[in-house]
Amino acid sequence: MYGSAKSRVSYSRRIFNRWRHAWRVLLGTVAVLWPVGTAHALQVSPAAPAGPQAPAASASASASASASVIARPAAGSRIDHGPFDALLRAHVVNGFVDYDAFARAPEFAQYLTSLDRARLETLDEDERLAFWINVYNAYTIQLIVSHRETASIRNINRTLGVLRLKGPWSEPLVHAAGRTLTLDDVQHRILRRDFGEPRVHFTLACGAIGCPPLRSEAYTGPQLVDQLNDQAHRFLRRSPEKNRLEERLLLLSPVLIAFRDDFGPSRQDLARTVGQWFEGDDRKRLEKGPIFIRATPFDWALNSKANANRKPLAAPKIVPRDSVRRAPPM
If one counts every other C-beta atom within 10 angstroms of the C-beta of residue 69, the result is 6
Half-sphere exposure of 186 (CA within 13 A, CB side): 32
Q: Collect all residues with Cβ–Cβ distance below 8 Å to 171 and sequence separation of at least 6.
A: 143, 156, 157, 182, 183
C-alpha 222/C-alpha 123 separation (Å) is 12
Determine the 3-state secondary structure of 221 from DSSP: coil
State how beta strands 292-295 and 249-252 pair: parallel
**290 preceded by cis ω (within 30°)?**
yes
Q: How far is CA 297 from CA 88, 165, 252, 288, in A?
A: 27, 25, 9, 26
144 near 99, Cβ under 8 Å? yes
* Regions of the chain with pLDDT less than 70: 1-77, 159-165, 314-330
Cβ neighbours for 203, distance < 8 A, ≥ 6 positions apart:
133, 137, 212, 215, 219, 227, 228, 231
Nearest to 167 by CA among 202, 116, 206: 206
Q: What does the pLDDT look like over 124-165, one tens digit per residue?
A: 999 999 999 999 999 999 999 999 999 999 999 886 666 666
Pairwise CA distance, residues 206 & 155, whole Å: 13
Residue from 303, 256, 300 nearest 94 by CA: 303
Contacts of 181-188 with C-beta under 8 Å, sequence gap 24+, read: 183/136, 183/139, 183/140, 183/143, 186/132, 186/135, 186/136, 186/139, 187/136
Question: Looking at residue 36, what is its pLDDT?
Answer: 39
Q: What pLDDT score was predicted for residue 23?
A: 54
Which parts of 45-105 fold into alpha helices (H)?
59-70, 82-91, 99-104
Q: 240 pairs with which residues across the strands?
A: none
CA-wise closest residue to 297 among 325, 322, 281, 316: 316
